[in-house]
Amino acid sequence: MTEIEIEVGARPIREINEEIRSAAAAGRSVVVKDTRSRHNLAIGLGEGARVRFEGSVGYYCGGLNCGARVEIGRNAGWAVGEAMSDGEIVVNGYAGMSAGTSMLGGLLHIRGDAGPRCGVAMKGGDIVVEGKIGYLSGFMAHAGRIVALGGAGDACADSLWGGEVWLGASPKSLGVDTCEVEPDPDEVFEIESLLASRGLGKPEVDWRKIVSAQRLWHFQSRDAKAWLMI
Amino acid sequence: MCGIAGRILKDPGPIGRDLVELMDAQVHRGADSTGFALYGQPLESGYIVRAVGFERSRLDSDLEDFKSIINDQGCEFAEDPVADEAESRHVSVRMVVSEIPNLPRWTKAVDEISSRFEVQSVGKSLEIIKDIGTAADVADKHGVREYGGTHGLGHARLATESSVIPTASHPFWARPFPDVAIVHNGQITNYYLLRDKLERQGYRFMTANDSELIAVWISDRMRQGMEKPEALRDSIKEIDGVFTYLIADRNSIGFAKDKWAIKPLVVMGEEQEIAVATEEQAVRRIYLEEGDVENFDGPAMTHTWPVMMEAA
């Protein structure tokens, strides 16, 4: 069956999202054109929905995704895939701040770099970034994996509660309460399998695996000074 | 939240129309008030003064008082003042005056009546137009779309720190530095301390708005001999809080962003012609086609874009 084409332009976003939903309900895949970096596109789509954006999108694209496959041709704005629980989102360019905020499951694949706070408060799922992740990425994440082949900016994995950050290159600096551990070969195999499932070859890198040092799990106010960054 | 924008044109053109588009696209970021700093063809002689009278019915007597104050300062009206013809209680006035022998002293003198008639900007080229309402409201009321010029700033305000009144909205003029204006997205936490220091040096702030500090602070640094890029970098160290601000003068638009990297800024275009805004979808109102977008997403960033007309 042929794709359904939807033009964004200056039209109301609600109308566009309704059209995407109807197409998905009819089992048709959708290509969205003239996106003009507009916000809140393809929110809350379920299993079976397939949407491809030809250009750049604005904030919260693919947010609350619970099973759809969403592809963004160029860049995504703030919080792409926010709170997604299932499905797959691919960003072919740069993903702005807070990509994958609070995501619970599914997969977010960013081919370019990701901005600051990628995977902030993440609670499950995987984020694969072929480039670099920005300042404070993984901040206060609880579970899930962030894999960044190009390394990370300052304060990487700051205040991580749980989950893992895997880096294929050095971070500019690590955040507070982080701990770098030597990965098991089995774990490396799992990460390489994840990358292979994304069509990425086995990278020639020395993996750096960052986890929580777990000292903030038992925060004591008398220790507050140890955590102050300013 | 607030939304900010800047625009530089290669040749003088429809700067008002472009800035209204940039702000209309960001109306959801703050619809309390909207303001514009517009830079038109610079006057060869004299200054453009923008002011707000708080009581329309008293405008004639306020203008009489204003005239007599500026006359005492060796300055006179070069054209008849023009007031907006809206229904609102407050009234926006555009004046063209002759050369001002001593602008700090002149400003201090006209500020004597600022409780009823407040000067909002003074410049050879700058005009600040700001009012309550959305970009469309303010544009319709003050004819902003019709303004020609080389560059300018826009601001959509979601008030967090002070009253929703026209004078407490952005852009802010760097009182008393001619042609300098800022727009700010964020909150400054140590503004009171820094303002206090500047007030002791004789600077005057007209509102309780935290952002009013920035323009004066940067201009004061530059008065002491600092170059603008250095002053912008210095502001990241000295000014505490969350901010991305744009500062314009006749020759450039610059920006600085705090070390927490919270407030976004994107730019499209070339050095000679750019649109910069909080949100990418706003600059896409100007550049409809896909193109290279630069995201200033990192912590502690600054940049200055020149206005080519002035440099020539």
Q: A137 to chain B: which residues are within 8 Å by CB?
A: none
CATH topology assigned to domain B3-42+130-311: Glutamine Phosphoribosylpyrophosphate, subunit 1, domain 1 (3.60.20)
Chain B nearest-CA residue for A8: B288
Nearest CB to A134 within list B280, B293, B298: B298
- Extract the residue ranges of chain B whose pLDDT is less than 50: 310-312
Per the CB < 8 Å rule, is A56 touching B290? yes
- pLDDT score for A219: 81
**Is this complex's ipTM strictly greater than 0.85?**
yes
- pLDDT score for A229: 59
Q: Looking at the domain assignment, is residue A137 inside a domain? A: yes
Tens digit of pLDDT for each residue in B219-272? 999 999 999 999 999 999 999 999 999 999 999 999 999 999 999 999 999 879
Q: Looking at the domain assignment, is residue A24 inside a domain? A: no
Residue numbers of the domain that contains A89: 37-218
Per the CB < 8 Å rule, is A36 touching B288? yes
- pLDDT score for A224: 80
- Tokens encoding A135: 């300042």
- pLDDT score for B159: 86
Number of domains chain A is built from: 1
Nearest C-alpha of chain A: how many angstroms from B63? 44
Per the CB < 8 Å rule, is A116 touching B288? no
Say whether residue B279 is in contact with chain A using an 8 A CB cutoff: yes
Domain boundaries, chain B: 3-42+130-311, 44-123
Amino acid at B198: L
Q: Looking at the domain assignment, is residue A25 inside a domain? A: no
Nearest CB to A153 within list B281, B293, B298: B298
Domain of residue A208, CATH code: 2.160.20.60
Ordered strands of the B117-123 beta sheet:
B82-83, B91-97, B47-53, B117-123
Say whether residue B264 is in contact with chain A using an 8 A CB cutoff: yes
Most A CBs within 10 A among B21, B295, B301, hence the mutation to make, goes to: B295
User: In the CATH scheme, what is the homologous superfamily, with its name and number, of domain B44-123?
Assistant: Ribosomal protein S10 (3.30.70.600)
Burial A204-227 (b: 16+ CB within 10 A, else e): eeeebbbbbbeebeeeeeeeeeee
Specify the pTM: 0.94
- pLDDT score for A1: 65
- Extract the residue ranges of chain A whose pLDDT is less than 70: 1, 229-230
- pLDDT score for A230: 47
Dihedral (CA of B199, B205, B209, B213) sign: negative
What distance in Å separates the CA atoms of residue A113 and residue A60, rounded to the nearest whole number?
Answer: 17
- For chain A positions 30-89, those within 8 Å of chain B (CB to CB) are 36-39, 55-56, 58-59, 74-75, 77-78
Per the CB < 8 Å rule, is A135 touching B261? yes
**Integer CA distances (angstroms), A141 to A102, A162, A164, in order:** 8, 6, 9
Q: Looking at the domain assignment, is residue A11 inside a domain? A: no
Most B CBs within 10 A among A8, A37, A91, hence the mutation to make, goes to: A37
Tens digit of pLDDT for each residue in A122-164? 999 999 999 999 999 999 999 999 999 999 999 999 999 999 9
